[in-house]
């Protein structure tokens, strides 16, 4: 195998696979990338057996072939190289020669057959989805997805695709059992490509993050699809696949409070700033802040047994209820406020120990629920 | 064979030894020439900078073995060895504690159990009952707390006590030490050795000097006379390697070490050298740091035979999860970070760690996390496992924290009634009284009886 490729093209490829390459060293070969030189260009692939990313890159191929070697070493080399173009060639013993100007590297590789075989996928069944829309759904729900929760389904993002007449509704749900975020959008999908039946899947958090990263690169419209146990996400020459998480997602709709007349409206930035400041004096790890809802303001209070305390009053309008206080993990509230863009947010809460529903002013399509703490 | 590097290494070592020797002899000669003139560092004895501080070091005598002998009169006066199953000399693992009768056969803790068996095949070999020792330890520590709040545990059977603030109430440090010794004997029929001094370092050496039932007081100002005749190994932090390094330079006693200039000891052993030099001078300002809450809890098992049997490994993992879970519940803490330790037959140790979003204390939850950690260990087919361990760290005391409510209801009540019942049963009747069915051997399943894997020889 022998190819000539620009440094920038290869660097882009390597940076893209960084999130996928396995760092936990369960199987040493998963720290590698697979390079496949085909007549029309270079295929670069990484996997951790759960998710995989394949990308196609421009290259002048003198001799086809394939090899697998350390992704990290190649990335480190590329970062230090200043030459615009590099030549990669592989010996019969799988030694990769990297030549860039006056520098030469020889990196030990392994035969490409040693690299795990990935499931074959085809283009059928993929639906075109709006990239910006999906990115927005991801941003608004990913923060709530669990991390290493023992209930493993909570470590994934729930995706619902349901046809609604002419349109298709896409809903993303994330929850870690303490807070929940639901975001949805209605998109138009050409009839011949839309799916007749409803689809419900849970994708690993890592796959969702990779999708988000790829969507943030540029505006190219992606294709999305699911097989029985696989997510497929295609975008400008890249294919991301991920195993789906099996299991039953909890009944999230049941825990979203119904619309109630008891509402608190507040300026988002003011609440956000106040929480940031007051939580500086909250207890470590739990970030507990007490919110007291009064007719025309919310007062925030936090105290740390060893350090001190902080308070702040934020103008707000509270309709239809008596003053009451509830404790919250400030971080959970801030995570929600952070993904919103409207100026005004509304909080709905029945009593100090009931769930708190957070929505954006006029906008629909987003709901967050945060459970309080018992102080 | 290329002997070049070896030869060079050899030359380097010889050269270093020579230069060290010259350095030391030069120092001796200068010392001789200068006679009474003293080096600034090696000047008059500087004891603790904290005036009037009194520290007790209390060390239980053969703690585990003594508890066994107390609990079972048949063992009294016999050599009792607590540790791994000796399996008639083929056993693996080590001695955890040896009674004084057993020590007469040259048996000491950390000795391979097989060797202990060879030395004393008729000894009483007992399994470790850690829960029992912890229970007794907690009671002994409550005695310490009668006399001062400043109790720093070093292990289950050893602690430092700063009694400076208690002197008004209780009199002299000797009186407190005697009372504690007496309380321990009267209430628990166990013996302890006590060291009384003005620093932790000297108190520890003192308690060790006349075991068992030792009581050694080092009055203020006599530290030098006390320390200097002792061999350098007595210094805390001088292991076999450092001791050999010192003896190689002709330094055998603490007194000899104290006479070497500080700069030279530092040149030999780096920063550690400076610390040793200070200790040799009785300089030790370390304070007694009262008990910090538990930082981690763990359990591990060395297999009787290296194994690649998946069933055995998985059953062991479940047992470990149960043990860690039980300890967490007993301490009233939940585990946020879980670490799996696995040692292969070739002594390669692999650890895998996972930080959980929500801390846990239930066996089933811990077991599930432990299993995912085990999955992340790259074990080749047929590769054998020697040891498996599980440890919880980043412990959260949820009783002290506000309760974060859950959206989908918590996975059960705050205290799991099943776990509580099982824990109570085990505390009273032992680990094996109740087991998940997967942990029963097929024979036990047929007979319906839980097994009793205790090893009791020579009774």
Q: What token pair was written down for B234?
A: 């007595």
| B153 and B200, same domain (yes or no) | yes
Question: Chain-wide mean pLDDT for chain B?
Answer: 81
Q: List pLDDT tens digits, range A47-90.
A: 998 899 999 999 999 999 999 999 999 999 999 999 999 999 99
Mark yes or no for CB contact A26/B377 under 8 Å: yes
From B261, B292, B323, the end of a domain falls on B292
For the stretch B234-276, pLDDT in tens is 887 788 888 888 888 888 999 999 888 888 888 888 888 888 8
- Give the residue from A23, A148, A368 with the most B CB atoms within 10 Å of its CB, the best one to mutate: A148
Task: Determine, for residues A372 and B355 on separate chains, whether the beta-carbon distance falls below 8 Å.
Answer: no
Report d(CA A171, CA A162) in Å as an integer: 8
Contact B262, B180 (CB under 8 A): no
Query: In this structure, are B186 and B231 located in the same domain?
Result: no
Q: Are B224 and B214 members of one domain?
A: no
Quickly count helices (H) and strands (E) in chain A: 6, 26
Name the closest residue on chain B to residue A371, using Cα atoms.
Answer: B405
Computed from CA positions of residues B178, B181, B183, B186, in that sequence, does the dihedral angle turn out positive or negative?
A: negative
Q: Which residues in B lie closer than 8 A to residue A180 (C-beta atoms)?
A: 407
Residues B245 and B275 in one domain: yes
Residue B398 counted as domain residue? yes
CATH number, domain A257-370:
3.10.150.10
Q: Are A234 and A223 in contact (CB under 8 A)?
A: yes
Number of domains present in the structure of chain B: 3
Query: CA triplet A162, A168, A170: central angle to 5 degrees?
Result: 65
Under 8 Å between Cβ of A103 and A81: yes
Which of these three, B218, B245, B274, is where a domain ends? Answer: B218
Same domain, B309 and B275: no
Whether residue B67 is found in the same domain as residue B108: yes
pLDDT, tens digit, 9 for 90 and up, residues A157-182: 999 999 888 888 999 999 999 999 99
- In angstroms, the CA A213 to CA A19 distance is 9
Q: Which class for B42: exposed (0-12), middle (13-18), buried (19 or more C-beta within 10 A)?
A: middle
A203 to chain B, closest Cα gap in Å: 18
The CATH homologous superfamily of the domain defined by A127-252 = DNA Polymerase III, subunit A, domain 2 (3.10.150.10)
Residues B225 and B132 occupy one common structural domain: no
Across the interface, whether the CB atoms of B357 and A24 are under 8 A apart is answered no
Angle at A279 between CA A277 and CA A284, to 5 degrees: 145
Residue whose C-alpha is closest to residue A108's, from A32, A182, A56, A172? A32
Which positions in chain A touch B358 (Cβ < 8 Å)?
Answer: 149-150, 177
Domain encompassing residue B251: 25-34+220-292
Residues of chain B contacting A, Cβ within 8 Å: 352, 354-358, 360, 365, 368-369, 375-378, 396, 401-408, 411
Residue A348 tokens, joined: 């709905």
Closest CB from A25, A147, A180 relative to B357: A147
Does the distance separating the beta carbons of A150 and B365 come in below 8 Å? yes
Task: Give the pairing type, strands B124-126 and B80-83.
Answer: parallel
Low-confidence ranges of chain B (pLDDT < 50): 1, 26-49, 448-459
Residues of A in contact with B365 (CB under 8 A): 150
Verify whether the Cβ–Cβ distance A179 to B407 is below 8 Å: yes
* pLDDT under 70: residue ranges of chain A: 25, 122-124, 191-195, 362-363
Domain boundary among B198, B218, B238: B218
pLDDT at B266: 87
State how far residue A195 is from chain B, nearest Cα, in angstroms: 31
Q: Which position among B152, B158, B223, B365 bears the catalytic label?
A: B158
Provide the shortest C-alpha distance from residue B359 to chain A (in Å).
9
Contact residues for A100 (Cβ-Cβ < 8 A; gap 6+): A7, A81, A83, A85, A86, A87
Nearest to B256 by CA among B285, B293, B227: B227
Instruction: Map tokens 């289950």 to a residue.
Output: B156
Residue B328 inside a domain? The answer is yes
State the smallest CA–CA distance between residue A225 and chain B in angstroms. 29
Among residues B26, B38, B11, B46, the alpha carbon closest in space to that of B249 is found at B26
User: Looking at residue B18, what DSSP letter applies?
Assistant: H
Are B366 and B321 in contact by the 8 Å Cβ rule? The answer is yes
Question: In terms of CATH, what superfamily is A2-114?
Answer: DNA Polymerase III, subunit A, domain 2 (3.10.150.10)
Question: What are the angstrom distances between the C-alpha of A111 and each of A32, B93, B131?
Answer: 11, 43, 53
- Predicted confidence at residue B40, as pLDDT, reads 36
Search chain B and give the residue with CA nearest A149.
Answer: B357
Give the Å distances, CA to CA, from B394 to B334, B357, B369.
9, 12, 15
Chain A residue with minimal CA distance to B369? A150
Measure CB to CB from residue B356 to each of A148, A288, A374 and give the nearest one.
A148
CATH for B267: 1.10.150.20
What pLDDT sits at residue B273? 86
* Strand, coil or helix: B129: coil
Specify whether the CB–CB gap between B300 and B93 falls below 8 A: no
Look at residue A4 in the predicted model and tell me its pLDDT.
Answer: 96
Any domain includes B110 = yes
Q: Does the beta-carbon distance from A26 to B376 stay under 8 Å? A: yes
A188, exposed or middle or buried, with CB in 10 Å at 0-12, 13-18, 19+?
Answer: exposed
The CATH number of the domain where B351 resides is what?
Answer: 3.30.1490.100
Query: Do B202 and B225 sit in the same domain of this protein?
Result: no
Distance CA A283, CA A301 (A): 12
User: Is B187 among the residues known to form the active site?
Assistant: no
Residue B46 falls within a domain, yes or no? no
Beta strand A230-235 with B80-83: parallel, antiparallel or unpaired?
A: unpaired
Tokens read off for A14: 């390597």
Using CA atoms, how far apart are residues B205 and B216, in angstroms rounded to an integer? 9
Specify whether the CB–CB gap between A1 and A111 falls below 8 A: no
Structure tokens given for A150: 């023992």
A to B CB pairs, distance under 8 Å: 69
Q: Which helix (H) or strand (E) is B369 found in, with range?
A: helix B363-375
Note whether B193 and B249 are same-domain residues: no
Interface pTM, i.e. ipTM? 0.82
User: Do residues B427 and B315 share a domain?
Assistant: yes
Together in a domain, B286 and B270? yes
Q: At what angle do helices B271-280 and B262-269 cross, to 10 degrees?
A: 140
B39: nearest Cα among B280, B358, B262:
B262
- Give, in order, the Cα–Cα distances in Å from A79 to each of A7, A53, A74, A105, B431: 9, 21, 9, 14, 57
Reported as a single tens digit per residue, the pLDDT across B343-355 is 988 888 889 999 9
Kindly list the residues from chain A whose CB atom is less than 8 angstroms away from the CB atom of residue B325. none
Domain ranges within chain A, ordered by starting residue: 2-114, 127-252, 257-370
Residues B190, B248 within the same domain: no
Put simply, the answer to whether A28 touches B378 (Cβ < 8 Å) is yes
- Tell me, yes or no, if the pTM score tops 0.80: no
Contacts of B333 in chain A (CB under 8 A): none
- Name the minimum distance, in Å, from the CA of A181 to any CA of chain B: 12
Residue B171 lies in a domain: yes
């Amino acid at each position: 195998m022998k190819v000539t490729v620009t440094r920038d093209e290869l660097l882009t490829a390597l940076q893209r696979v960084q999130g996928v390459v396995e760092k936990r060293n369960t199987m040493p070969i998963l720290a590698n990338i697979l390079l496949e030189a085909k007549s029309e260009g270079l295929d670069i692939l990484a996997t951790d057996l759960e998710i995989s990313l394949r990308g196609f890159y421009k290259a002048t191929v003198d001799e086809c072939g394939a090899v697998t070697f350390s992704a990290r070493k190649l990335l480190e080399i590329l970062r230090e190289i200043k030459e615009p173009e590099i030549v990669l060639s592989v010996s019969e013993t799988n030694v990769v020669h990297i030549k860039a100007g006056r520098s030469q590297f020889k990196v030990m590789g392994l035969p490409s057959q040693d690299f795990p075989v990935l499931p074959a996928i085809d283009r059928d069944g993929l639906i075109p989805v709006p990239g910006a829309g999906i990115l927005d759904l991801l941003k608004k729900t990913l923060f709530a997805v669990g991390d290493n929760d023992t209930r493993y389904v909570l470590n994934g993002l729930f995706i619902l695709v349901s046809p609604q007449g002419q349109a298709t509704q896409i809903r993303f749900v994330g929850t870690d059992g303490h807070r929940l975020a639901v975001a949805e959008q209605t998109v138009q999908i050409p009839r011949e490509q839309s799916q007749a039946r409803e689809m419900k899947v849970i994708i690993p958090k890592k796959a969702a993050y990779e999708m988000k990263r790829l969507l943030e690169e540029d505006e190219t419209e992606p294709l999305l699809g699911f097989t029985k146990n696989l997510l497929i996400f295609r975008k400008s020459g890249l294919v991301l696949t991920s195993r789906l998480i099996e299991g039953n997602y909890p009944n999230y709709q049941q825990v979203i409070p119904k619309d109630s007349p008891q509402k608190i409206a507040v300026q988002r930035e003011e609440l956000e700033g106040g929480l940031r400041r007051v939580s500086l004096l909250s207890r470590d790890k739990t970030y507990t802040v007490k919110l007291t809802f009064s007719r025309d303001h919310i007062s925030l209070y936090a105290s740390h047994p060893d350090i001190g305390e902080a308070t702040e009053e934020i103008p707000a309008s509270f309709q239809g209820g008596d003053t009451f206080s509830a404790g919250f993990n400030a971080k959970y509230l801030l995570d929600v406020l952070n993904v919103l863009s409207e100026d005004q947010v509304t909080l709905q809460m029945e009593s100090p120990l009931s769930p708190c529903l957070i929505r954006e002013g006029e906008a629909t399509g987003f709901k967050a629920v945060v459970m309080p703490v018992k102080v | 064979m290329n002997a070049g590097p070896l030869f060079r290494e050899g030359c380097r070592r010889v050269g270093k030894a020579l230069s060290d020797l010259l350095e030391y002899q030069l120092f001796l000669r200068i010392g001789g020439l200068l006679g009474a003139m003293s080096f600034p560092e090696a000047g008059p004895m500087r004891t603790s900078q904290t005036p009037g501080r009194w520290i007790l070091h209390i060390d239980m005598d053969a703690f585990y073995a003594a508890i066994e002998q107390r609990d079972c009169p048949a063992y009294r006066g016999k050599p009792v060895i607590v540790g791994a199953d000796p399996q008639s000399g083929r056993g693996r693992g080590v001695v955890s504690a040896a009674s004084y009768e057993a020590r007469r056969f040259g048996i000491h803790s950390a000795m391979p159990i097989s060797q202990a068996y060879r030395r004393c095949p008729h000894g009483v070999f007992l399994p470790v009952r850690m829960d029992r020792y912890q229970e007794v330890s907690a009671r002994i520590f409550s005695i310490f707390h009668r006399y001062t709040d400043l109790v720093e545990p070093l292990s289950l059977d050893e602690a430092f006590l700063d009694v400076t603030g208690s002197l008004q109430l209780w009199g002299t440090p000797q009186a407190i030490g005697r009372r504690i010794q007496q309380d321990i004997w009267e209430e628990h029929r166990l013996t302890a050795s006590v060291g009384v001094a003005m620093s932790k370092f000297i108190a520890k050496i003192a308690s060790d000097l006349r075991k068992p039932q030792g009581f050694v007081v080092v009055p203020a100002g006599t530290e030098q006379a006390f320390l200097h005749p002792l061999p350098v190994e007595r210094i805390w932090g001088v292991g076999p390697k450092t001791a050999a390094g010192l003896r190689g330079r002709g330094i055998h006693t603490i007194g000899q070490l104290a006479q070497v200039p500080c700069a030279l000891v530092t040149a030999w052993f780096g920063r550690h050298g400076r610390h040793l030099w200070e200790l040799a001078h009785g300089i030790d300002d370390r304070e007694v740091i009262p008990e910090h809450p538990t930082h981690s809890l763990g359990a591990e098992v060395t297999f009787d035979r290296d194994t690649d049997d998946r069933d055995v490994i998985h059953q062991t993992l479940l047992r470990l999860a149960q043990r860690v879970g039980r300890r967490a519940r007993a301490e009233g803490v939940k585990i946020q970070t879980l670490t799996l330790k696995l040692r292969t037959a070739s002594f390669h140790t692999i650890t895998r760690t996972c930080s959980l979003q929500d801390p846990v204390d239930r066996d089933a939850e811990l077991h599930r996390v432990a299993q995912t950690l085990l999955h992340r260990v790259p074990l080749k087919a047929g590769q054998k496992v020697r040891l498996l361990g599980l440890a919880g760290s980043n412990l959260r005391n949820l009783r002290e924290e506000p309760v974060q409510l859950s959206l989908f209801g918590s996975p059960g009540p705050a205290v799991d009634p099943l776990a509580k019942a099982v824990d109570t049963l085990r505390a009273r009747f032992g680990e094996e009284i109740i087991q998940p069915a997967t942990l029963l051997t097929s024979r036990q399943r047929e007979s319906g009886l839980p097994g009793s894997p205790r090893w009791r020889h020579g009774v």
